Amino acid sequence: NLTDRLEGVFKKLRGHGILTEENIEEAMREVRMALLDADVNFKVAKDFVASIAEKAVGREVSKSLSPGQQVIKIVHQELVDLLGGDTQQIRLDGRQPVTIMMAGLQGSGKTTTSGKLARMLKEKGRKPYLVPADVYRPAAIEQLQVLGERIGVPVHPSSTDMNPVDICRMAMDAAAVQGCDTLIIDTAGRLHVDEHLMDELKEIRKAIHLSEILFVADSMTGQDAVTVADTFNQALEISGVILTKMEGDARGGAALSIKKVTGKPIKFVGIGEGLDALEIFHPDRVASRILGMGDVLTLIEKAEAVVDKKQADELAKKLQKNQFTLEDFLDQIQQIKKMGSLEQILSMVPGINKLKQLKDAPKPDERELAKTEAIIRSMTLKERRNHKIINPSRRQRIANGSGTDVADVNRVLKSYSSMLKMMEKMRGKPGAFSGQKRRK
Ligand code: GDP
Ligand code: MG
């Protein structure tokens, strides 16, 4: 997991407060590995890492984030930008009818995706018309006819003795007659790119106006897909990309590489064989996937939003000086209510980052929190500032005062103590808290 690895790299950094060239370099090695793991093209990964390093060096580490989180945030943002930033939809306004041609290798998912897209557009209120222009295999025409029937979209009556260019020309008229406004042209593919295939597609492009040429790529083919995408783009000037088979284990590296190499937006992703398994491409989701982080980023964002810098600083100072009292514990409980479990709060204090814990930590039990709060409030100020004086009779009094029992009081004191112990351990390590930087 990249997050864990980066946390490891940045353990050394704590106490410095800014990202230096040296530790960035080490972190970037990890990022590069993660990219390669996700099947990102080697050169793309290399360039990417270089540009990130430039951006990260010298940045001050935000107090609510650990350096590891900080770098992940930069990397993620950069990935999102590279993947195209916002979602990109196909253009449906402008010249009518809209004509969309699917291009790509055999088996990439052109026919299936034609059906999926027709279904999606129909739901949006368009009137799609499916055009089978793969005349080399009878089964291909039939496949599209079956799909069309299932989604209730008319399919142009093509046959294997017709020429794809003629089919497209005739389909334009036929669509108009049927009142359809969006043609989706399914074309033939080869196992490899060849001249004949490209020529045929170029002929279609010359013969009719095309609103979109969408290159359909099987994301499972990783590196190969990148080369093929480049070739199709050079020959046809594609207008966008659809990545199929993105469900399951596909890590999305192909998305980054294809976008980088062609410069064309990824518009949709196929996530299954079913006709509803087509989604608009979301750069941020895929970026998270490439980094193998799932919802860690959401948590990072949450952490930034909730724990404000000043509070985190103050807490860090107290932890250093061994001044974390039950009163601070009470403060933390207020935070917990806003945010999550004790581990989550702790993990957001710079220097005590354990994202794994943060992710797995159970949601706090509101009633337990309220109880804890009541117990601490029933303590005297003296008790709150020095828990060691809380003897059995004081415990009984506190329990009575808070409407709990001694076992509850003991539990609160125990979790407070274990927190102290944990901090003791952290304090043993030099530079364990980034707040140190600010000590004058
Ligand atoms: P074409 O040769 O480019 O027209 O490819 P097809 O549309 O015939 O698809 C080839 C195979 O890939 C079929 O078995 C499809 O069901 C499958 N397929 C297409 N898109 C997806 C997808 O997003 N996920 C999965 N799992 N399979 C897909
Ligand atoms: Mg096909």
pTM: 0.67
Asked if residues 116 and 270 have their Cβ atoms less than 8 Å apart, the reply is yes
Count how many residues are written for the chain: 440
Residue 378 has, within 13 A of its CA and on its CB side, a CA count of 24
Atom of ligand 1 nearest to the CA of 269: 23
143 CA distance to ligand 2 centroid (A)?
8
279 CA distance to ligand 2 centroid (A)?
20
Nearest alpha carbon, ligand 1 atom 9: 109
**Which ligand approaches the C-alpha of residue 246 most closely?**
1
280: helix, coil or strand? strand
Nearest alpha carbon, ligand 1 atom 26: 272
pLDDT of res. 127: 97
Atom of ligand 1 nearest to the CA of 216: 3
pLDDT digits (tens, 9 = 90+) for 79-112: 888 888 888 888 898 899 999 999 999 999 999 9
134 CA distance to ligand 2 centroid (A)?
7
Q: Where are the beta strands (DSSP E) in 115-231?
A: 128-133, 182-187, 212-218
Strand partners, 214: 102, 240
ipTM: 0.99
Nearest alpha carbon, ligand 1 atom 2: 107
Asked if residues 200 and 164 have their Cβ atoms less than 8 Å apart, the reply is yes
Closest CA to 335 of 325, 344, 323, 326: 344
Q: For the chain, percent helix, then strand, then coil, each to nearest 5?
A: 60, 10, 30
Nearest alpha carbon, ligand 1 atom 20: 109
pLDDT of res. 188: 93
> Token digits for 104?
């790509």
Q: Which amino acid is at 217?
A: A
Pocket-testing residue among 273, 278, 279, 280, ligand 1, by greatest number of atoms within 8 A of Cβ: 273
Asked if residues 167 and 156 have their Cβ atoms less than 8 Å apart, the reply is yes
pLDDT of res. 354: 40
Q: Which domains does the chain have, with CATH numbers?
A: 2-85+294-299 (1.20.120.140), 98-281 (3.40.50.300), 307-438 (1.10.260.30)
83 CA distance to ligand 1 centroid (A)?
23
Pocket around ligand 1: residues whose beta carbon is below 6 Å from it? 104, 106-112, 189, 244-245, 247, 270-273, 277
Binding-site positions read 104-111, 186-190
Q: Where are the beta strands (DSSP E) in 2-135?
A: 98-103, 128-133
pLDDT of res. 439: 33
Low-confidence ranges of the chain (pLDDT < 50): 295, 345, 347-362, 429-440
**Which ligand approaches the C-alpha of residue 276 most closely?**
1
Asked if residues 117 and 276 have their Cβ atoms less than 8 Å apart, the reply is no
DSSP 8-state assignment for residue 363: P
Binding-site positions for GTP read 104-111, 186-190
pLDDT of res. 355: 40
pLDDT digits (tens, 9 = 90+) for 236-276: 999 999 999 988 665 678 888 899 899 999 999 998 999 99
Asked if residues 398 and 389 have their Cβ atoms less than 8 Å apart, the reply is no
pLDDT of res. 185: 98
> Token digits for 189?
């593919």
H-state helical runs in 263-391: 283-290, 296-306, 309-320, 326-339, 342-348, 355-360, 366-377, 381-385
pLDDT of res. 426: 60
293 CA distance to ligand 1 centroid (A)?
27
68 CA distance to ligand 1 centroid (A)?
39
247 CA distance to ligand 2 centroid (A)?
20
Atom of ligand 1 nearest to the CA of 112: 7
Pocket-testing residue among 244, 246, 266, 271, ligand 1, by greatest number of atoms within 8 A of Cβ: 244
- Ion ligand 2: residues, CB within 5 A, are 110-111, 140
